[in-house]
Structure 1
């Protein structure tokens, strides 16, 4: 398999790339909507690189997935019609090639393992619309029984906290995820702000925004501390949209991590940047754990 398509479905943006020998030949970014649009973009990418069809397609989704069945079980940050969708069967029927589905954070961890930092024991954490993680131990991704391992975003840190889109209360994602922060800004500040705007207002010292960001960084630091205590990783690799403001957010998160964990892993930003999801998805056909 050499002609690979990597699909990285995000809570707000989807990326589709044509990958050859670990290199992205072309990539398209577009707002996340439905599978029909993804198929249309895959066709455009195939035409651009001159491939009649791909050898395989890998798909990462911000969701609880059944990797055995190639189906999305629950996608808290996607529209409801994604829940229960048999993504793999749909793509197999359209493109007549093997297709493989995994959780997006696990695939990002795979991307960093194969093409990025290439450490053997690390936790990859994506901090964006939602929050997820992938675990690598002894040079292998830890998938779990159904491919759902690493759901750090749904650790319940405050049982009496705000309700998460997953249905539970006080999850890390409900305290620090981008979508949740925007919702809390509307409630507390009475303004519709994007996560980027909220961070910039906090950076400028606006009290309400700063309080929300401080709370989010505290929750993220606590979540990382729990994971560090449990896993004792060599590294924690941070990816996702919030890394664009890591110079401001990172010291706040690191201070909490140091306060609550005896482990002292290195913390680095994703080496692959925003290509990590596409490259991880493209690597999945070679590393799929349930054949």
Structure 2
């Protein structure tokens, strides 16, 4: 703090009462000089407030067009022990349990929890460190969310009407598509599947629009190990009874292809 020596005036009312004219003149001169010095000191101090004469300022409201400072430390209290601070390390916002936003001296923000809304209400984009998720919300009941830890694996979940309707996850090691209710796959062009192996758990799950399933249709066409129905006798394009000449000059009578069956494999 600056070392300011203000003028002092030690004359008492009793001194004035007991003084003659000569002494009164001296007192008036001394009072005048002290007043002038005090005015000059106060004028200078009020016009030149700085770190030499202000170390701490307590005020309810500070109105200023600009505050210039090499380093400034500001801390304000929030609910649940949270705070906002600005100091020589940058800016920090804390919710009482963790820093939800930091801005270092490089000016780059790091956020671990926030709500970004396109307007008052919804749609909204939410970062929730407690749920380890990042979500886009149409409203409270309709959203898309990225969960970083769903039973040890990441998941993309879809909610509609306040209910989980489907998700993409890797909980089984590979990519899994889960549909709660109906899962629609639509395309204006072709739908192409090119797996190394396609495993069909139950052909009866494949149904057409009238409810018939592929499993029953296949069973109606073939049964492993069963015999097919006998075929009728067929002439093979040669009328039955025709005499055919053998290589040795003899003849045989063509009786056609007899009725027969096949084992289904």
**TM-score, length of structure 2 as denominator length:** 0.19
**TM-score, length of structure 1 as denominator length:** 0.17
**Whose relative contact order is higher, 1 or 2, with alpha carbons under 8 Å and at least 6 apart?**
1
Work out which of the two has the higher radius of gyration on C-alpha atoms and give 1 or 2.
Answer: 2
Q: Which has the higher helix share?
A: 1
